[in-house]
Amino acid sequence: METIVQGLLLGGLYSLFALGLSLMFGVMRLTNTAQGDFIVLGGFAAIAGVTTFALHPSLAALGLLPVAFCAGYALQRFVLNGTLGKDPLPSLVVTFGLAIVIQNALLETFSADPRSLAVGDLNTRSLSVGPLTVGLLPLLIFATAVACTAALQALFSHTRLGRAFRAVSDDREIAELMGLDARHVYALATGIAFVLIAVAGTLQALRTTVSPSDGPLLLLFAFEAVIIGGMGSFWGTFVGAMVLGLTQQIGFRIDPGWGLWAGHLVFLALLVLRPQGLFPRTRG
């Protein structure tokens, strides 16, 4: 039971890694290969806010959100929109280049040493639920993941902006004929994705350490969660992250050297048996 609970809590963190990736693919069919490095950048930005301006981690995180939105909007509007089209290669090349730039910039600025956010005794506090003891910080991360997933789904299903996202995703040309500015809508989607990335990076720095070389591994976790759940499906991404976290924890329980491999094997098995994912998004 403890292994299952810890796996689900780990899956909550993985879902935050993956939600921004799922959003960008769902709206623009764009695979952001710099996703993991942007998460690491968000973690270091939160650390810099705490150390440079002596802010509380919660204030640093809140201040980071509007900056992340503006950065995501500008990146999509002025860079990534020019790479969109039937050929996915330009966007892959550009985001891969961004990943390299971010890694090297972080190495030059912060060195290769892992760093983390100090939050007092939050990392050691726990709650007792019957025979189980659950860490307070992982529980807060899981609750944040549920809230973010529910908010994204509500945004897509019940708001005017969500209808615009679905319209440009289903047929950009018809949506533009109806008066939508697809470039602006895409930029708004990326801005929201970057807010989620900032949240994920801050929570990653709170729970463990971040280093400039962590990006590819975080991208792999995010990509696997999205593929398992179904590309463009938010609750599917959440479930995919739960599956990934749970299988990793079971693997760690069996043999500490096989934890990550267990997640990769489940990912490959589902990719062969159900390549569209557990809950693929339906158009319309």
**Cross-strand bridge partners of residue 127:** 134
- Which pLDDT belongs to residue 281? 66
d(CA 109, CA 107): 6
Name residue, tokens 């990943």: 99
What's the average model confidence in pLDDT over 242-264? Answer: 87
pLDDT > 50? residue 220: yes
What is 2-115+134-273's CATH number, 1.10.3470, 2.60.40, 1.10.10, 3.40.30? 1.10.3470
> What are the backbone dihedrals phi and psi of residue 171, each rounded to the nearest 5 degrees, phi first?
-160, 100
Which of 157, 156, 160, 138 minimizes the C-alpha distance to 16? 138
What's the average model confidence in pLDDT over 26-52? Answer: 91
Please report, rounded to a whole number, the percentage of residues in the chain having pLDDT higher than 70: 98
> What are the backbone dihedrals phi and psi of residue 114, each rounded to the nearest 5 degrees, phi first?
-65, 145
Structure tokens at 81: 């929109």
Residues 244 and 11: beta-carbon distance below 8 Å: yes
- Which pLDDT belongs to residue 284? 46
- Which pLDDT belongs to residue 79? 93
Other CB atoms within 10 A of residue 62 CB: 14
What pTM was estimated for this model as a whole? 0.92
What average pLDDT is seen over the chain? 89
What's the average model confidence in pLDDT over 229-238? Answer: 86
| DSSP category for residue 132 | E
Residues 15 and 145: beta-carbon distance below 8 Å: yes
Structure tokens at 115: 């760093």
129 torsion bin: left (phi>0), alpha (psi -120 to 50), beta (else):
beta
- Which pLDDT belongs to residue 222? 93
What's the average model confidence in pLDDT over 150-163? Answer: 92
CA 245 to chain centre: 14
Residues 219 and 229: beta-carbon distance below 8 Å: no
- Which pLDDT belongs to residue 191? 96
d(CA 270, CA 228): 7
pLDDT by residue (tens digit) across 96-114?
999 999 999 999 999 888 9
Please report, rounded to a whole number, the percentage of residues in the chain having pLDDT higher than 90: 54
- Confidence class of residue 23 from pLDDT cuts 50, 70 and 90? very high
pLDDT by residue (tens digit) across 106-148?
999 998 889 988 777 776 777 777 777 788 888 999 999 999 9
